[in-house]
Structure 1
Amino acid sequence: MRTLWGLLLASTVMVLVGCSSAPTTPSAPAAAPQSAARLTVEQANDVTVMAIGLVGTPYRYGGNTPASGFDCSGLIGYVYKQRAGVVAPRTTGGLIDWGTSIPEPSLRTGDLVVFVQNGRANHAGIYVGEGRFVHAPSTGGTVRLDSLNSSYWAKQQVSYRRP
């Protein structure tokens, strides 16, 4: 029932969300986090439902809670810790090597999409299915749901990671 409810919520949110915006640069590197273990399908679904539920939370550089707002890596860290008990790297630079690299056709809900520019990770989000991901895109914005196939994101180099 929870998965059905999550899919219903995801479908509703997808209908309401608009275009994407340019990614932002995350905060400076922090201490190395614990290694991630592979998530179960249930944990990945829980991560997805929580991420979708945070759509609309204000963006804040360095933010890592719903009360303070989120930047992209803060959103990922918060969701993975709350729903899977896993500590994610605090920066996009750390996320690029976190978990296991997977090919695009293997993407499932709860996986990460990490965007790379000039050889460096500069933005990341949580894949929620149907070619969409949740992310905290920019100052003045909010956590949002975007399509990997949108005119902006389709042009970006992306790495897919399974924690």
Structure 2
Amino acid sequence: MTPLTILARTATENAGNVARRGALAAAAGGVLISTIATTAHAAPAMDLKTDVKTAKLNTADLQSLTAVAKQAVVNSRTVTVPINAKMPIEMEVLGTSSGSGAAGEGEGEESTAPAVVSVDAPDPVPVGQQAVNIALNYLGITYVWGGASPSAGFDCSGLVQYVYSQLGYSLPHSSGALLGVGYQVTYPEPGDIVWTPGHVAIYAGDGMIIEAWAAGMPVRYTEMWQNSPTFVRVT
């Protein structure tokens, strides 16, 4: 029981339908309190111990409060929401499901929330395989002694040097010096250097090599012909 409750009940006992609705709405919204604090026709202070049924407002005070409350109700902004209004909620999920949902969802309902599916990125291509892919672009380039570019031609070490330079590696233009780059392996993988005294080639996988092999002849893709070569891995 508060002064606000007493004023609201007293107003409803003494006012008509319009005044009653205005007073109750104003009391519920706190308007009546601000009116009591600021209006020149403020209701007199009341003792909380006074019986509610004996609390009375004179006609002037009641009319003043009713008018202010009614005006507050008229000026108040009203927000209406349709019964079938929906609030979309975005959810981040892995994968999708149908026919069942989380607790609280309807049986068989389909979710309209956007699904974020995690997709694994493809594995990067190994550097050695990249070297093979680049070398295949130069098949048919004529062997030229000392050549180290597509425009000037290639010798065996010039082809290896140029291919790996496209991948950011600086290799010597010498078959003998290429034996000392990287490290030696027993089983070759694509991109490894196939080294024999005086000659180098690029291992292409499956027993195949890419090489600049003889003066005036084109760079070729062929079966590995070397006997007991040394395999050098650059990376």
> Which TM bucket (shorter chain)?
0.5 to 0.7
Where does residue 108 of structure 1 map in the other structure?
A: 189
**CA shift for structure 1 position 53:** 1.4
Superposed displacement of residue 134, structure 1 = 0.5
Structure 1 CA distance for aligned equivalents of residues 198 and 133 of structure 2: 24
Pairing partner for 1:73 from 135, 157, 164: 157
* Amino acid across the alignment from 2:193: L
| Off by >4 Å, runs of 4+ in structure 1 | none
Unpaired runs of 5+ residues, structure 2, are: 1-123
Tell me the distance in 2 between the aligned counterparts of 1:157 and 1:122: 14
Matching of residues 37-56 of structure 1 within 5 Å: 42-56=126-140
User: What is the rounded CA distance, in whole Å, between the counterparts of 2:208 and 2:145 in structure 1?
Assistant: 23
Give the % identical residues: 33
Distance in 1 between residues matched to 2:125 and 2:184, nearest whole Å: 17
Q: Take 1:132 and 1:89, find their aligned partners in 2: how far apart are those partners?
A: 23
The higher relative CO (CA closer than 8 Å, separation ≥ 6) is in 1
More strand by share: 1
Q: Does 1:134 align with 2:134?
A: no
The one-letter amino acid of 1:90's match is H
Alpha-carbon distance between aligned partners in 1 of 2:149 and 2:128, rounded to the nearest angstrom: 20
Q: Normalising by structure 2, what TM-score?
A: 0.45
Over residues 106-151 of structure 1, what are the superposed CA-to-partner deviations in whole Å (9 max), with x where a residue is unaligned?
x111111001xxxxx2100111111011010011101111211xxx
Q: How many residues align?
A: 111
Give the greater-gyration-radius structure (CA). 2
RMSD of the alignment, in Å?
1.4
> Aligned AA for 2:149?
T
Return the alpha-carbon distance in structure 2 between the equivalents of residues 47 and 98 of structure 1: 15
1:159 matched to which residue of 2?
230
**Taking structure 1 as the reference length, what is the TM-score of the superposition?**
0.65
